[in-house]
Structure 1
């Protein structure tokens, strides 16, 4: 079992199944190859190709295997923190409205 706590990419060998426990809300992205994913709290299995993503919930367990007899690469990315998203959205809204937001410093 490997805990996911930051952005990471790893290879799943063709003849292995990786067991992963998700410690934070995370996004799985297939980088190379095709994988199947079984989730602990879901009755469905997922077959994902390169570029496909799957949002993962904190506390769930995954079983990931490479499909088609070839290894696959999967990446896990922790989403940006909410405060970073809010600041980014506010900055974009201000820019569209023509308002300049500085960095908090003022020259006198």
Structure 2
């Protein structure tokens, strides 16, 4: 199992399942290939395609596998500055009110 505490990009092989633990709140982005993600303390599974993102909570564990028999590339990005965290919070708050910034992120 890998622990994610900083920005990292890695390949998920077609025949393996990657297990990771999130040390800091972060965002997973799929760069190439389709993946499925199972999260600890969540009853839903997530199927993500290139360009899709998933916000992750500190302390959760993930299992990630590639779909369609091909390898996939995923990236984890941690918030770098307080201003980014404030902007993410404001975006989530705006989305609750039905206002979308159209910033290019698709959050699942």
How many residue pairs are counted as aligned between the two chains?
87
Specify the alignment match of 1:91 in structure 2: none
Secondary structure of 2:36's aligned partner:
strand
The answer for unaligned runs of 5 or more in structure 1 is 89-108
Structure 1's consecutive aligned runs of 4 or more residues displaced over 6 angstroms after TM superposition are: none
Specify the alignment match of 2:42 in structure 1: 42
Q: Is 1:26 aligned with 2:26? A: yes
Specify the alignment match of 2:63 in structure 1: 63
> What does 1:78-89 correspond to in 2, within 5 Å?
78-82=78-82, 84-85=83-84
Scaled by the length of structure 1, the TM-score of the pair is 0.76
> What does 1:84-99 correspond to in 2, within 5 Å?
84-85=83-84
Could you say if the C-alpha distance between residues 41 and 68 of structure 1 is closer, same or farther in structure 2, counting changes exceeding 3 Å? same
Q: Distance in 2 between matches of 1:45 and 1:10?
A: 20
Instruction: Quote how far apart the aligned CAs of 1:43 are.
Output: 0.2
Q: Distance in 2 between matches of 1:78 and 1:85?
A: 10
For residues 37-89 of structure 1, what are the alpha-carbon distances to aligned partners after superposition, in whole Å with 9 as ceiling and x for unaligned? Answer: 0000100000000000000000000000000000000000001321x448x9x
Please identify the structure whose Cα radius of gyration is greater: 1
Scaled by the length of structure 2, the TM-score of the pair is 0.76
Could you say if the C-alpha distance between residues 77 and 59 of structure 1 is closer, same or farther in structure 2, counting changes exceeding 3 Å? same
Secondary structure of 2:21's aligned partner:
strand
